[in-house]
Homo-oligomer: A and B are copies of this chain.
Amino acid sequence: MHPLLPFFKPQGVAIIGASSNPTKLSFGIFRNLLQYGYQGKIYPVNPNASEILGLTCYPDIHSVPDPVDLAVSVVASHLTPSVVEACGQRGIKAVTIISGGFREIGPEGEKLERQCLEIAGKYGMRLVGPNCVGTMDLYSGLNTTFIHGVPEKGHIGFLSQSGAICGGIVDYVRGKHIGFSNFVSLGNEADVTETDMIEYLAEDPDTRVIALYVEAIKDGARFMRVCEEVGKTKPVVLLKAGKTQAGAKAVSSHTGSIAGAITAYKTAFKQSGVIEVDTVIDLFDIAHALTCQMLPRGNRAVILTNSGGPAALASDSLGLHGFALATLAQETQNNLRKFLNPSAQVANPVDMLGGAEPEDYERSFREIAGDPNVDILIPILVPQALIKAEKVAEAIVNASRGVNKPVLCCFMGDEAVQEARRVLHGNGIPMFTFPDSIGRVLASMRFYSQWIEKSGKKVNIEISRDQKVVEKILESYRDLLSIGEIDTRPVLEAYGIPVVEGGFAASLEEAKLLYRQIGPSVVIKVVSPQILHKSDVGGIRVGINSVAELESAFSSMMEDVRKKCPEAQIMGVLIEKMAPKGQEIIIGMKRDPVFGPLMMFGFGGIFVEVFQDVAFRVAPMDLQDAKDMIFETKSGKLLQGYRNLPEFDVDSIVSCIQKLGQLALDFPQIAEVEINPCLVLPKGHGVLALDGRIVLAKE
């Protein structure tokens, strides 16, 4: 039995702190428990009452008889630890703490929350909340919330990190006839998190789609793992609040400055198959469509309408999201012509004109559904004076029986289409009020279906690497904040990333010696722990082709750097072979506190700075993820033999991204690492790190 099952299908539930005062929220909970068909036992617990709403009231949890496997606590926060303790002693393994007054009010509440958690740990109990609205199960009838009304029975399992939002959502989805299996307010998530609940809902037979309202995720890596697994059988749809408040932190690399906190969230969602939406309406429109419609097998849609205007808006929505208007077979068009109004349009959009009757919808729908050129059907109705929208709804329901293609309706209006929505939603056909929803919903369905396909083909490779080398270097930088180019070079090399040939010279004499090995064409760069951006202080000289040039470049560089950074301690220079011709790219990693190593790819210079043309993935990722990342950028096009450019070595970029990702996974003390510039050479010639640096995590 799943340990979270008692939160939804308990055999008996005790309400600790149940009140008979109708103005108290605990009374609301008690009333809800009684009125939605819950068949298990209900035990009010309150030392000051003998019965509530006709049920025997118990003085404490110890005196509650069997069966009881869920306790809902509504007592004040300072009394809650003792309630949890008593429940533990009574052998109850599931407690929902509705009351607030915990972590959300400050240190004192945080202490109480920690106490509850410790007690729960001792007894092996699970806690939902505190500071939550409770749980509903539309199949067992359990409702431990004080919300007015319940959603209809259906197949969305909904999880919310906001409690206060829940009442508004229930009211909204009731009006839209969107059905739920479960409804969970998670509160402070002291114990049970969104990820735990996703795992539970994955096993719940009545839940087909998991929908979440999320403000923050604690363990991002686990969330991704769980969603990737669950996503294979049930879609996860998610609305994330707090996307723009994430304020830029002080960061020291390009990857760092571009990859804000929300980038990690968005990247992680996309990568793990989570369907991220932008609005509450989309959350439920998309979740609902996924509960009742199959995924589209292609992108060719047909619009069947009684009005050209909304058909044009629907076409726009389809076009915007990459769907096409199907070309109907000539036979289909001929058949439609036989019975539709002679002025009707039988090409797609099929416009039956304002006088279209329910029967026209039904017959046309059947014709179109049978056309092999059609992947998706979109019936649209604008209510007309003489036609009942619900009759059209029934016609569509009839015609769609046995049709093996997704059907999404748009019935425009409000009051005039309410009954039609009830009919359609009651029969598993999603209906939207305006056509612009259609493209968004279909795009989410396609995203999910493509993700499933891709997730079945994952290729993970083993990276051969020498972790010992890196360990030693990191150890020597233990109390420092960053590692410069000199010591980043061996780190990259230990992970098999090719680095341009070169070495450190503490003096001009040493530089000359190295020149003889590396020359005839070299670059020199100043080495100083105080200088992060060498080129900004004149600390790089390129195209040195003789010892004489080396001497003059060395001295003029030193002069410039001393002028610009008089306080810098100059250790010497790095002398490197002049790089061959290639394209400069950046490969970087910034460790996200929630999701871990966030990898970035982009072209260097203005492409990153002016166009912000970069892409992200969370490591670990498979080969295809790394490849997708490159071609998600616009500049990626320039790697494939664009105009006079050669075809570049994309496979080596993929491999380099993966190696840098593995480095980040192996060494959590690395906060950021960036190869910038990284030179990508023509196909077959690999990549070459020209510069790199590491930022270390502060303890």
- A-to-B contact residues, CB < 8 Å: 23, 25, 28, 100-101, 104-105, 146-148, 160-165, 167-169, 171-172, 174-176, 213, 215, 239, 241-245, 278-281, 306-310, 312-313, 315-316, 318-320, 343, 353-354, 382-386, 412-417, 433-434, 436, 606, 610-611, 613, 634-635, 637-638, 642
Contacts and interface: CB of A to CB of B under 8 A. Distances in A.
A241 B354 contact: no
18 contacts: A23-B386, A146-B385, A160-B309, A161-B309, A162-B312, A165-B310, A167-B383, A168-B416, A171-B383, A174-B415, A239-B313, A241-B312, A244-B320, A245-B319, A279-B434, A280-B313, A606-B638, A610-B642
Contacts of A310: 162, 164-165, 168
Given A147-B385, A414-B172, A312 B242 contact: yes
A316 B610 contact: no
B242 A315 contact: yes
Given A25-B385, A167-B385, A436-B280, A245 B147 contact: no
Given A172-B414, A383-B168, A309 B241 contact: yes
Most B Cβ at <10 Å: residue of A105, A306, A434: A434
Contacts of A215: 308-309, 312
A172 B100 CA distance: 40
A198 B40 CA distance: 65
Contact of A416 (B148, B278, B306): B148
Q: How many copies does the complex hold?
A: 2
Contacts of A244: 315-316, 318-320
Contacts of A638: 606, 610
Contacts of A412: 165, 168-169, 171-172, 280
Contact of A382 (B164, B354, B385): B164
A23 B355 CA distance: 12
A385 B165 contact: no
A25 B610 CA distance: 59
A176 B414 contact: yes
Nearest to A384: B167
Given A175-B415, A215-B312, A281-B433, 16 more contacts: A101-B343, A161-B309, A162-B308, A164-B310, A164-B382, A165-B309, A167-B384, A169-B412, A175-B414, A241-B312, A243-B316, A244-B316, A245-B316, A278-B436, A280-B313, A281-B434
A415 B100 CA distance: 28
Contacts of A176: 414
Contacts of A309: 160-162, 164-165, 213, 215, 241
Nearest to A147: B385
A113 to B, nearest CB: 15
A343 B167 contact: no
Given A165-B310, A315-B244, A382-B165, A172 B433 contact: yes
Contacts of A169: 412-413
Contacts of A28: 385
Contacts of A25: 385-386
Most B Cβ at <10 Å: residue of A242, A309, A382, A413: A309
A315 to B, nearest CB: 6
Given A171-B417, A416-B148, A105 B343 contact: yes
A575 to B, nearest CB: 24
A167 B174 CA distance: 25
A174 B163 CA distance: 32
Contact of A172 (B307, B413, B637): B413
Most B Cβ at <10 Å: residue of A25, A28, A215, A416: A416
A600 B367 CA distance: 46
Nearest to A305: B164
A317 to B, nearest CB: 9
Given A309-B215, A638-B610, A414 B174 contact: yes
Nearest to A383: B167
Contacts of A383: 148, 167-168, 171
Contacts of A23: 386
Most B Cβ at <10 Å: residue of A147, A164, A241, A416: A164
A292 B112 CA distance: 49
Given A146-B385, A434-B280, A354 B164 contact: yes
Nearest to A100: B343
A606 B605 CA distance: 15
Contacts of A312: 162, 215, 241-242, 245
Given A147-B385, A312-B215, A167 B413 contact: yes
A413 B243 contact: no
B168 A413 contact: yes
A382 B175 contact: no
Contacts of A104: 343
A57 B166 CA distance: 59
Most B Cβ at <10 Å: residue of A415, A610, A611: A610
A539 to B, nearest CB: 15
Nearest to A160: B309
Nearest to A161: B309
Contact of A167 (B239, B242, B382): B382
Across the A-B interface, the 4 shortest Cβ-Cβ residue pairs: A244-B319, A162-B309, A175-B414, A164-B307
A101 to B, nearest CB: 8
Given A172-B412, A412-B165, A610-B635, A316 B147 contact: no
A415 to B, nearest CB: 6
Contacts of A606: 638, 642
A635 B605 CA distance: 13
Contacts of A148: 383, 385, 416
Most B Cβ at <10 Å: residue of A279, A307, A316: A316
A354 B131 CA distance: 11
